[in-house]
Amino acid sequence: MASGKFYKIKIGDIWLTSTAGESGIQCFLSVIGANDFFTQIAGTIVETVGGRIVQSIPFTRDKDFEIKVSIMPAEIWDDLKALRETLLTEDESVEVVGTARPGNFNVQAKPRPDESFSFAEFDEKFIYDVSMKFYTV
């Protein structure tokens, strides 16, 4: 299980930060399944005078992953819930971007319709132990 505590994540236009903007303080989070985004498969093989060139391409389709956030501002939770409802209603996907030392990823994903978003606790300002489950398309 890959866990990226310091991934900077953007879902659609929403950054998982204190302000929902790129410049906000990052939410403490982990991305379970991110290691699957680094799988490469052999693509086109090109024969050249100097030898064979094999182009590799990322294999990111049909991969389940989960973003777990320890503490999330309530406003961001509200924005993500609205986005989730739109994606499920319109059967659309969203771009999910992650940047961190283990490797960056950029995938198109849909929320899992059966168990996509959950949390453990909440108060006026924050939602705690958030889990968001997606699959790539």
Q: Is the pLDDT of residue 40 over 70?
A: no
100 versus 77: which is more confidently predicted?
Answer: 77
Q: Reduce the DSSP state of residue 25 to 3 states and report it.
A: coil
pLDDT of residue 76: 96
Confidence label for 57 from pLDDT (cuts 50, 70 and 90): low
**Cα angle 92-93-95, degrees, rounded to a multiple of 5:** 150
pLDDT of residue 3: 47
Residues 90-117: tens digit of each pLDDT: 999 999 999 887 778 899 999 999 888 9
Tell me the average pLDDT across 70-91: 96
pLDDT of residue 41: 66
Backbone angles phi, psi at 77, to 5 degrees: -55, -45
pLDDT of residue 36: 80
Beta strands, E only, the chain: 8-11, 14-15, 29-32, 40-48, 51-58, 64-73, 94-99, 105-111, 117-118, 121-122, 126-136
Cα–Cα distance, 120 to 128 (Å, whole number): 6
CB 111 within 8 Å of CB 82: no
